[in-house]
Amino acid sequence: MKPAPLDHAAPTTVGEAVALLNDPEREAVALAGGQSLMPMLNLRLARPDLLVDLTRVEGLDHIRESAGWIEMGAMATKRAVERSSLVRERQPMWHEATLQIGHPQIRNRGTVGGSMAQADPAAEYPAAAVALGAEVRAVGPSGERTIPATEFFLGYLTTALAPGEILTEVRVPVIPPGRGWAFREVCRRHGDFAMAGTAVTVDLDASGRCTATRIALFGVGPVPARAVEAEKIVDGEAPGEEIFERAGRAAAGAIDEPLADVHASADYRRHLAAVLTGRALAQAATRAGRPEGS
Amino acid sequence: MIGDRRIRVSVNGTAYEVGVEPRTTLVDFLRADLGLTGTHVGCEHGVCGACTVLVDGLAVRSCLMLAVQADGSEITTVEGLEGPEGELHPIQEAFLEEHGLQCGFCTPGFLMATYEMLTDDPKPDEDEIMEVLGGQICRCTGYQGIRRAVDCAIDKLGGTRPADVFGAGGPEGPDAPDAPDADPVGADGAGEGSAR
């Protein structure tokens, strides 16, 4: 018996779940797929009084397209996303990011909302969300609100969710025709957390020059972050190896203080970020040039 | 002290209705409450995969799930692989023949992960096999025997669903009994093997 004593509630509506989370008498935590929270409970890094299990809440596991967005309920599992032809065809970067998360044995239970709310700095979904301009929907005692992904990740394992708020949906824009994308990471084994990774989109204007470039790095800082300076280097330029390598170095150079641990030093992570970003830009630009083959 | 919760689960075709403390992980429930110690408990934080079981047909880490969350589910453990006369499942035979195990600690997890993969796709490609095996840790074999065992299991099954090897009604087979309809037995009746 590893976790400290706790109670478990399995509400069936978002309203009930929010009420339980806001019980003033008890410290309550929302439980999604449990692939991050359960280890923390087993290691007793988390000792809540009450787990508010979202598994049986109705209406939180959809994957659908609506008005230019792919909408994924917070409790949609990564396995369901991985197998969704809608996601694969309409938002291929999100599909690719999903395949990099853990193994099927983890994706069978891990959820879209869980990854976003956990906000691990090396996680794939948060970076893809920032690069793609995704939005997060949350419901709390005072109602629903929508938070842009770029404003959602505040710090290491810390999001803009208020205490007592539940993440209910992640919405990602459908990829527009002609937009190139790339999602690359380096980790010790497939499925491990990334030592460094990058999520990139590139558009080409009528003259074939890069525009609206977005670069989000992950695994290198406390939150997935846009590499704005590097984006500016690329925009307005014709695709080319030299410019992409320069942008990669700029993206890596702008990392304030790279993470460092037993798996990778700060210098190595910075190096990976530069190389991966350069390669990702090239791949994205190639895909932008031939959207039908991307 | 938090009181016990009643849960109903079907494990290897046997229905159980038992009380569990909410903090009990599924693996501890299977081993300690039901006496099904074939499922091994390793790292207890989701890394090693030794505790992998099938919950409603999906391979999951039973250390990363609470027993109360399994309420209403059908669970298959390594004990559920054997045939009616206790014979080994072809996947188990394949691991035996190809030296897919040495100490055997990780083996139940590898077997269940392989079982789900071959249920999903009787002829998985190399990437798929390596990704699934990558989710399980073995510290003895160096993995080559395990990798060969998967090929051997694919050959032995010859396209037959792992659940249909001993006829319909095997674990996750179309005729597996539903927990609510079967006679519930208490935890005291546990460890008697699976009902077929």
Confidence band, pLDDT 50/70/90 cuts, at residue A258: confident
Question: In this structure, are B78 and B120 located in the same domain?
Answer: no
Strand pairing class (B74-76; B5-11): parallel
Question: In this structure, are B41 and B15 located in the same domain?
Answer: yes
CB-based contact A112:A104 (threshold 8 Å): no
Q: What is the CATH number of the domain that holds B11?
A: 3.10.20.30
- Tell me the chain A residues in contact with residue B58 when contact means C-beta distances shorter than 8 Å: 79, 108-109
In-domain check, residue B193:
no
Taking an 8 Å cut-off on Cβ atoms, the answer to whether B59 and A104 are in contact is yes
CB-based contact A266:A216 (threshold 8 Å): no
Residues in CB range of A119: below 8 A, 6 or more apart: A126, A152, A153, A156, A157, A158, A159, A223
Residue B144: which domain range?
A: 90-164
Question: In this structure, are B24 and B53 located in the same domain?
Answer: yes
Instruction: Give the integer Cα–Cα distance in Å for B52 and B100.
Output: 17
Domains in chain A, please, with CATH? Answer: 7-53 (3.30.43.10), 63-172 (3.30.465.10), 180-289 (3.30.390.50)
Confidence band, pLDDT 50/70/90 cuts, at residue A257: confident
Closest residue by Cα to residue A6 from A43, A70, A49:
A49
Taking an 8 Å cut-off on Cβ atoms, the answer to whether B135 and A104 are in contact is yes
Out of A38, A53, A190, closest to residue B64 by CB: A38
Its pTM stands at 0.92
In-domain check, residue B195:
no
In-domain check, residue B154:
yes
* CA dihedral sign of residues B137, B139, B142, B143: negative
Question: In this structure, are B94 and B64 located in the same domain?
Answer: no
Instruction: Give the integer Cα–Cα distance in Å for A142 and A36.
Output: 28
Radius of gyration of chain B (CA): 16
Question: In this structure, are B24 and B70 located in the same domain?
Answer: yes
In eight-state DSSP terms, residue A160 is S
Long-range pairs of A66-69 with CB within 8 A, sequence gap ≥ 24: A68/A173, A68/A174, A69/A135, A69/A171, A69/A172, A69/A173, A69/A174
- Tell me the chain A residues in contact with residue B113 when contact means C-beta distances shorter than 8 Å: 104-105
- Cross-strand partners of B18: B7
Question: In this structure, are B13 and B70 located in the same domain?
Answer: yes
pLDDT in tens, A97-149: 999 999 999 999 999 999 999 999 999 999 999 999 999 999 999 999 999 99
- Tell me the chain B residues in contact with residue A29 when contact means C-beta distances shorter than 8 Å: none
- Tell me the chain B residues in contact with residue A39 when contact means C-beta distances shorter than 8 Å: 45-46, 64
In-domain check, residue B78:
yes
Question: In this structure, are B98 and B78 located in the same domain?
Answer: no
Closest approach of A233 to chain B, Cα-based (Å)? 37
- Tell me the chain B residues in contact with residue A6 when contact means C-beta distances shorter than 8 Å: 2, 22-23
**Interface with A, mutate which of B6, B23, B58 (most A CBs under 10 A):** B23
- Cross-strand partners of B11: B14, B75
Taking an 8 Å cut-off on Cβ atoms, the answer to whether A105 and B49 are in contact is yes
In-domain check, residue B14:
yes
pLDDT in tens, B98-143: 999 999 999 999 999 999 999 999 999 999 999 999 999 999 999 9
Query: Which of A48-57, A204-213, B170-179 is predicted with the least confidence, judged by mean pLDDT?
Result: B170-179
In-domain check, residue B35:
yes
**How many cross-chain Cβ pairs, A to B, lie less than 8 Å apart?**
99
Taking an 8 Å cut-off on Cβ atoms, the answer to whether B22 and A43 are in contact is no
How many folded domains does chain B comprise?
Answer: 2
Instruction: Give the integer Cα–Cα distance in Å for A80 and B88.
Output: 32
A174 φ/ψ angles, rounded to the nearest 5 degrees: -60, 140
Q: Per CB distance under 8 Å, which residues of A are interface residues toward B?
A: 1-8, 10, 34-35, 38-39, 41-43, 51, 53, 55, 79, 102-106, 108-109, 189-191
- Tell me the chain B residues in contact with residue A52 when contact means C-beta distances shorter than 8 Å: none
A203 φ/ψ angles, rounded to the nearest 5 degrees: -105, 155
Instruction: Give the integer Cα–Cα distance in Å for A262 and A267.
Output: 13
In-domain check, residue B196:
no
Q: What is the complex's ipTM, to 2 decimals?
A: 0.93
Closest approach of B158 to chain A, Cα-based (Å)? 23
Instruction: Give the integer Cα–Cα distance in Å for A187 and B124.
Output: 24
